[in-house]
């Protein structure tokens, strides 16, 4: 009897230990962990049958690895100098994982189309932009359209007027007074719908509908091109996609046998925008053997420096990270696509 009781205690302890380990390993916390991701050759993502890339070297797109924290991974991240822990809402904007992934795909599709347009324009090749509207990326809690329009919908008109870019919608709404009633035409799952609501006061002080937007643009070209981002999301690959496409279009040997990494958004004017996690992308590029890293540089406003004396631009953080972990990698600040091309053409 004593032996059976002892066995029961032993097995109960083992089972309890297994349960605790499973909880520590798999129980999701309301945090995400960001660590250095990968740096991949963009030739794998860009297909141009009539303009193959035959040059040695490579342009690389860098990424950050993002995972939901568990008690064990949270503890490990605390001890990892390359990891950062972010609250769930700060990462997802309060949306569930499915919606967050959808938003990241929207960002990437927008980035790819702007990259194609930027490269074709710089290479003096014909292209046509078909502006479909604006993707809805998030809706603020106090928006009058909170339960009318959803993330993933495409807004096509405001008060019956269609604008060519999101800026047009924003400027038109900003001219109206707070609480002014507006009619929004949008597409939900391909079906056109109309919603009516009142404007709210945005954090900027201007009037708006309280919806975060990005352009839904499709670029058509005479030269066949397909870009498959695979499992990478977000807008931060815009600059590097532009450089890869431009090199294939022009046959200009920009890489010249080098591994060139970088990051940064690209807009319709060719300006490069800042992104998050650049310190982790620098480390990922270094591990992949990159010798040059393009980092966005936007001069901070005085008001930002006033309230955030320790504020660092993408370029400053990238340079600081490289000095410590990748001293042989050259960090190059860029504000425009043209600056990146000029640097490579004059530093072969």
How would you classify residue 93: left for phi > 0, otherwise alpha for psi between -120 and 50, otherwise beta?
left
220: exposed, middle or buried (Cβ count in 10 Å: 0-12, 13-18, 19+): exposed
Which of 250, 219, 220, 226 minimizes the C-alpha distance to 341?
A: 250
3-class DSSP state of 174: helix
CB atoms inside a 10 Å sphere around CB 179: 11
Q: Of 63, 110, 259, 281, which residue is the catalytic one?
A: 281
Which of 88, 62, 60, 61 minimizes the C-alpha distance to 74?
A: 88
Calpha distance 186→136 (Å, rounded): 10
Dihedral in degrees, nearest 10, Cα atoms 109, 99, 168, 337? -30
Six token digits for residue 188: 């939900």
Q: Of 63, 236, 259, 319, which residue is the catalytic one?
A: 236
Calpha distance 130→152 (Å, rounded): 18
Calpha distance 238→114 (Å, rounded): 7
Does residue 236 carry a catalytic annotation? yes
Report the chain's terminal Cα–Cα distance, integer Å: 83
Does residue 242 carry a catalytic annotation? no
* C-alpha separations of 282 from 45, 107, 171, 223, 303 in Å: 20, 21, 37, 33, 28
Calpha distance 33→70 (Å, rounded): 9
Six token digits for residue 88: 């769930």
Beta strand pairing status for 259-262 and 292-296?
A: parallel
Show which residues are catalytic: 236, 281
């Amino acid at each position: 009897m004593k032996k059976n009781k002892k066995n029961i205690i032993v097995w109960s302890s083992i089972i309890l230990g297994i349960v605790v380990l499973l909880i520590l390993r798999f129980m999701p916390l309301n945090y995400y962990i960001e660590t250095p991701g990968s740096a991949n050759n963009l030739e794998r993502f860009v297909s141009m049958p009539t303009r193959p890339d035959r040059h040695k070297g490579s342009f690389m797109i860098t990424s950050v690895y993002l995972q939901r924290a568990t008690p064990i991974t949270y503890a490990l991240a605390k001890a990892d100098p390359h990891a950062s822990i972010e609250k769930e809402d700060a990462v997802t904007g309060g949306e569930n994982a499915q919606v967050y992934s959808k938003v990241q795909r929207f960002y990437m599709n927008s980035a790819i189309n702007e990259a194609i347009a930027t490269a074709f324009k710089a290479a003096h090749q014909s292209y046509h932009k078909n502006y479909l509207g604006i993707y809805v990326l998030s809706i603020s809690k106090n928006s009058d359209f909170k339960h009318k329009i959803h993330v993933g919908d495409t807004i096509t008109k405001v008060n019956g007027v269609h604008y060519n870019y999101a800026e047009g919608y924003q400027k038109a709404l900003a001219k109206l007074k707070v609480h002014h009633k507006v009619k929004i035409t949008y597409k939900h799952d391909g079906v056109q719908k109309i919603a009516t609501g009142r404007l709210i006061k945005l954090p900027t002080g201007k009037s708006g509908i309280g919806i975060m937007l990005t352009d839904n643009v499709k670029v058509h070209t005479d030269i066949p091109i397909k870009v498959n981002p695979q499992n990478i999301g977000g807008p931060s690959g815009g600059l590097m996609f532009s450089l890869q496409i431009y090199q294939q279009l022009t046959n200009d040997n920009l890489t010249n046998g080098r591994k060139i990494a970088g990051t940064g958004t690209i807009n319709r004017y060719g300006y490069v925008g800042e992104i998050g996690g650049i310190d982790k992308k620098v480390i990922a590029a270094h591990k992949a053997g990159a010798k040059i890293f393009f980092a966005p540089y936007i001069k901070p406003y005085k008001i930002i420096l006033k309230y955030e004396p320790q504020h660092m631009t993408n370029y400053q953080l990238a340079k600081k990270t490289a000095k410590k972990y990748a001293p042989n990698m050259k960090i190059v600040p860029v504000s425009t696509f043209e600056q990146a091309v000029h640097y490579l053409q004059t530093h072969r």
